[in-house]
Amino acid sequence: MEKKKGEHTLREIETQQEIWSDVISKVENRKEDLQSLFDGIERVVFTGCGSNYYMSLGAAMHFQQITGIQACGIPASELLLYPDVVLGMGERQVVVSLCRSGETTEVVNAMHIAGSSYGLKSLYIGCSKQSTVSNMCTLSLVPPDVQEKSVVTTRSHTAMFLAVQVMCGLLGMNEKFPGDTYLRELRKLPPIGRKVISGFHETVERIPLNEYSHFVFLGSGPFYGIACESMLKMKEMALMPSDAFHSLEFRHGPKSILERAVLVTLFLSDTGSDLECDLIQEVKELGGSVVTVCEKAQEHVWRSSNFVFETQGSVNEWARSVLYLPFTQMLALRKALTRDIDVDAPRNLTYYVRLER
Amino acid sequence: MEKKKGEHTLREIETQQEIWSDVISKVENRKEDLQSLFDGIERVVFTGCGSNYYMSLGAAMHFQQITGIQACGIPASELLLYPDVVLGMGERQVVVSLCRSGETTEVVNAMHIAGSSYGLKSLYIGCSKQSTVSNMCTLSLVPPDVQEKSVVTTRSHTAMFLAVQVMCGLLGMNEKFPGDTYLRELRKLPPIGRKVISGFHETVERIPLNEYSHFVFLGSGPFYGIACESMLKMKEMALMPSDAFHSLEFRHGPKSILERAVLVTLFLSDTGSDLECDLIQEVKELGGSVVTVCEKAQEHVWRSSNFVFETQGSVNEWARSVLYLPFTQMLALRKALTRDIDVDAPRNLTYYVRLER
């Protein structure tokens, strides 16, 4: 039987929530290992390439919020080229490598430098327990059953990010938002995820995707990382111009590009909700269209947005990224299908990047 | 006499190097004030909006490299919405606000929080001594004679960034690259800048800009900030699709967009030169065109690039950003002119953003 275009990717998007419960319990079982790894640590460097670099930005933000420990996200290539700038902050650091295959050359080389030149402890989070990077690291967290056939990452991304979030909860020392409270929020995700996945087709199909030729993704705080990841998905899958910005940054220059063919997807936060709703209004006044992805839209959000996707179910915004992201994965896949592109064989890309030097 | 399209912006681009000597000596005169402000400081947060957010990314990278003190760059809106995540790292922090007008609402509000809620010391770097932000900060650095008529920032950007660099040199404690050595590199810039400005027209005019409809800007280490700024300039001035990535990140997904109409501008570093030259080759093999901006191109760079712009004159890569940036400012202006756009009156934009809440 002939393979349908994008069928692997579609299946991986549609099944991603099935493994979330296992991810949560598997990482929770590593509590002692993780607490011991991060004991006395003052700074955490998350690193990766491509999607995993963008995950590292979200991971650092969540880690700082939940644990109170300073964190940053940086591409593996930057760590490799400028190790003193990235790692020259003393011994009380852990480097966390985010890497699906565990074989990406730049990540392998970056982790080698972190370990052998700086003597730093390290953690691997990815999908391949028997991999070069996993074997180099002090500790590994490998979500169960997350392997993907597709070159573009979808299911592995939410599973790995959820693993990061559970780790944050296990290490959480924030009095205002204790780790245990955070873990309770995360445990709500699997059933809500099932509803999200069964509900997003209807909204995506209502959007006349062939009318849009430029896609902008906006997110503040917890959601900037997934805005970047969505931008990348739109390029990789649909080969379309796409941008990502911190929501309110969009006013400071980028909004100059707004016109009828621009579709802006806003991942609505709770903290910035009022200011972000003003922005939705402004985008529409300047001729763009807006899809608002949110938990539950108030009346003025319905009124000012062209399209709304609600994840429903009630979880704290710091637990919500993996509920928001599948919608834009699906948006990119559908846009690719309108252009007759097979996202299972994306142009110019390979499963991971191996370099000769 | 009728005003020519973009004439203010053109004049500001072409005259920017004239004030660099004054910027350097004016900031050097503030050595004691600056050393006192940063005495005992463990972390510096650079913040701003739009161009100045991208400047904050470059500023943080340079500050870490030259002073050895930890630094980060963050949009003012993120500081405003999530102050605990950004500033919750104790008292030994300074917040540096980068803001041309000193009146941008989000910067004003962010600096209010930094001062009144967190009790942090602060520094204003911008073009308006008599401004709300300047008056709120512990100390101000205002480069001389840098006022712009244009909405889009060009001259003010390099002047403000040079002020940041001189500050880094005055505070520099890095044994491998002492502050005094760095200041000597910076003092070489004004005469080299004059040659850059008088030479860039020839290269820009050789590029058939009407054949390109998508512009990518790549930079590692010292040059990621100006890659982002160039991306923004291309949107603001020419309203064209544009992207910025850390150079080697381009392989991890974004290269899927490559085709004949994509022009990639690479700001060549010294540290990553070999790996970046491999990338130039790959971009061309995948159908894109490459402009390499570098200090002095070796033969294989000339061979593999479609266009080369050399800044010549010999300065360390950490002093070189302000020599590289005018080229892409000019590229964006010329692209706008081919589309008959008046960059002096950019679509949808104002001199600064004032919000009602």
- For residue range B131-162, what is the model confidence (pLDDT) as tens digits? 999 999 999 999 887 778 888 899 999 999 99
Are B36 and B175 members of one domain?
A: yes
Lookup result for tokens 């991986």: A12
Residues A188-203: what's their mean pLDDT? 95
Mutate to test the interface with A, among B43, B44, B74, B77 (most CBs of A within 10 A): B77
Residues A70-80: what's their mean pLDDT? 97
Give A102-146 pLDDT, tens digit per residue. Answer: 999 999 999 999 999 999 999 999 999 999 999 999 999 998 877
Distance from CA of B257 to the nearest CA of A (A): 5
Are A236 and A278 members of one domain?
A: yes
Predicted confidence (pLDDT) at residue A353 exceeds the cutoff of 80: yes
Are B169 and B198 members of one domain?
A: no
Compute φ and ψ for A262, nearest 5 degrees. Answer: -100, 125
Q: What integer pLDDT is reported at residue B256 of this predicted model?
A: 94
Residues B55-61: what's their mean pLDDT? 98
| A239: confidence class by pLDDT, cuts 50, 70, 90 | very high
Residue B345 lies in a domain: no
Are A24 and A143 members of one domain?
A: yes
Determine whether the interchain pair A252/B353 forms a contact, defined as Cβ–Cβ distance below 8 Å.
Answer: yes
Are B102 and B25 members of one domain?
A: yes
Are B181 and B197 members of one domain?
A: no
Least confident of A98-107, A150-159, B50-59: A150-159
B30 in contact with chain A, both atoms CB, cutoff 8 A: no
List the single residue in B with minimal CA-CA distance to A84: B65
Q: What 8-state DSSP symbol labels residue B114?
A: I
Contact between B124 and B134 under an 8 Å Cβ cutoff? The reply is: yes
Residue A213 lies in a domain: yes
Are A257 and A327 members of one domain?
A: yes
Number of domains in chain B: 2
Residue A357 lies in a domain: no
A29 in contact with chain B, both atoms CB, cutoff 8 A: no
Q: What integer pLDDT is reported at residue A1 of this predicted model?
A: 59
Average pLDDT, chain A: 95
Instruction: Give the Cα separation of B220 and B324 in Å (integer).
Output: 13
Q: What integer pLDDT is reported at residue B214 of this predicted model?
A: 98
Are B200 and B264 members of one domain?
A: yes
Residue A355 lies in a domain: no
Are B160 and B197 members of one domain?
A: no
Residue B353 lies in a domain: no
Mutate to test the interface with B, among A72, A77, A177 (most CBs of B within 10 A): A77
Residue A130 lies in a domain: yes
Residues B94-114: what's their mean pLDDT? 96
- Of B271, B274, B353, nearest to A82 by CB-CB distance is B271
Give A26-45 pLDDT, tens digit per residue. Answer: 999 999 999 999 999 999 99
List the single residue in A with minimal CA-CA distance to B64: A85
Q: What integer pLDDT is reported at residue B357 of this predicted model?
A: 66
Determine whether the interchain pair B82/A271 forms a contact, defined as Cβ–Cβ distance below 8 Å.
Answer: yes
Dihedral over alpha carbons A114, A118, A121, A125 (to 10 degrees): -10
Are B215 and B323 members of one domain?
A: yes
Determine whether the interchain pair B78/A221 forms a contact, defined as Cβ–Cβ distance below 8 Å.
Answer: yes
CATH number at residue B325: 3.40.50.10490
Residues B189-203: what's their mean pLDDT? 95
List the single residue in B with minimal CA-CA distance to A269: B81
Are A137 and A227 members of one domain?
A: no
Q: What integer pLDDT is reported at residue A357 of this predicted model?
A: 66
Predicted confidence (pLDDT) at residue A2 exceeds the cutoff of 80: no
B342 in contact with chain A, both atoms CB, cutoff 8 A: no
Q: What integer pLDDT is reported at residue A109 of this predicted model?
A: 97
Q: What integer pLDDT is reported at residue B1 of this predicted model?
A: 60
Residue B24 lies in a domain: yes
Q: What integer pLDDT is reported at residue B303 of this predicted model?
A: 94
Which pairs count as long-range contacts for B110-116, CB under 8 Å and 24+ apart, including other chains?
B110/B47, B110/B76, B110/B77, B110/B79, B110/B80, B111/B136, B111/B137, B112/B136, B113/B79, B113/B80, B113/B83, B113/B87, B114/B45, B114/B79, B114/B83, B114/B87
Average pLDDT, chain B: 95
A350 in contact with chain B, both atoms CB, cutoff 8 A: no
Residues A321-338: what's their mean pLDDT? 97
What is the count of residue pairs from A and B with beta carbons less than 8 Å apart? 156
Residues from chain B that touch A105, judged by Cβ atoms under 8 A, are none
- Of B106, B221, B236, nearest to A82 by CB-CB distance is B221
Contact between B147 and B166 under an 8 Å Cβ cutoff? The reply is: no
Residue A345 lies in a domain: no
Instruction: Give the Cα separation of A121 and A94 in Å (integer).
Output: 5
Give B7-46 pLDDT, tens digit per residue. Answer: 999 999 999 999 999 999 999 999 999 999 999 999 999 9
Note down the domain range covering B81.
7-187
B151 in contact with chain A, both atoms CB, cutoff 8 A: no
Residues B110-139: what's their mean pLDDT? 97
Predicted confidence (pLDDT) at residue B2 exceeds the cutoff of 80: no
Predicted ipTM beyond 0.90: yes
Residues A209-233: what's their mean pLDDT? 98
B8 in contact with chain A, both atoms CB, cutoff 8 A: no
**Closest by Cα among A52, A250, A356, A53 to B246:** A53
Are A127 and A200 members of one domain?
A: no
Predicted confidence (pLDDT) at residue B255 exceeds the cutoff of 80: yes
Beta bridge partners of B99: B126
Distance from CA of A111 to the nearest CA of B (A): 17
Predicted confidence (pLDDT) at residue A356 exceeds the cutoff of 80: no
